[in-house]
Amino acid sequence: MEGSHRSQATFYRCRARSLAPESPALQDHPANVYLREDHLTVKINSWIARLFAPAHIRRTVEELADADELAGRIETQAQSFRRCIAAAESTMERLRRAIEVGWDPETLTEQYNAAAADKRAAEVGLKVVDPVPQLTADDIRTMVTQLGDMAKALDLADRHDFAELYEALGLTIAYDHRLQVAEVSITPALRGVKKCVRGQTRTLTTRLDLAFDPAGRTP
């Protein structure tokens, strides 16, 4: 989505023509989908403030420090690359045997080179798969302390401040114009606050109902 200023307000706009020609989303996508920025951010900020309020901060830290989701995602990625490597090696071995029993090498060269390329790509992917370490609960408490009083910060923030805060929190938004619901997630990373330390947390997600906001409608 892109920013669009209309009638004294800023909207996020998604144009149908900006989507890939074969995208399934085109089936029921209006020419333009508009989402008013301030109607969305007020709900996002309310959710963030609740997460980091003194009454909820302990539970939030515990949920962010849950290593199961991140470890599972890393292992799933690694397994996928290992399967690709094994499949490529199997193909390469089969082709070598075919050549040994008399198949014309020239007819098999292209297949062999493609399998070798797949193996190299998977090996590179396996080496770099999500190397960011998991943050501990103590790391996250340090990060929260550095961020300060979240509710006060949100009350005093301008659009530039919001952008910096959202980046530090790793905030992402997926908007469904049919349901008029925004799925909002945060994955705070300590590197966004303290650059000498790197680390990642579990993702926390909420669904914000925008059905009664004029911003949720698509003119």
What does the pLDDT look like over 76-106, one tens digit per residue?
778 889 999 999 999 999 888 888 888 888 8
Predicted TM-score of the model (pTM): 0.55
Give the sign of the dihedral formed by CA 34, CA 37, CA 38, CA 40.
Answer: positive
For residue 45, the SS3 value is helix
User: Are residues 61 and 136 in contact, defined by beta-carbon separation less than 8 angstroms?
Assistant: no
Asked if residue 150 and residue 59 are part of one domain, the reply reads yes
The count of structural domains within the chain is 2
Asked if residue 209 and residue 104 are part of one domain, the reply reads no
> What pairs with residue 181 in β-bridges?
176, 209
H or E element: which one contains 185?
Answer: strand 181-186
Asked if residue 58 and residue 146 are part of one domain, the reply reads yes
pLDDT for position 22: 61
Asked if residue 97 and residue 192 are part of one domain, the reply reads no
Residue finishing a domain among 103, 128, 153: 128
Residue finishing a domain among 76, 98, 128: 128
Which residue range forms the structural domain that includes residue 86? 68-128
Asked if residue 156 and residue 182 are part of one domain, the reply reads yes
The answer to the question of residue 33 being in a domain is no
Asked if residue 152 and residue 116 are part of one domain, the reply reads no
The answer to the question of residue 22 being in a domain is no
Between 87 and 138, residue with greater pLDDT: 87
Between 27 and 52, residue with greater pLDDT: 52
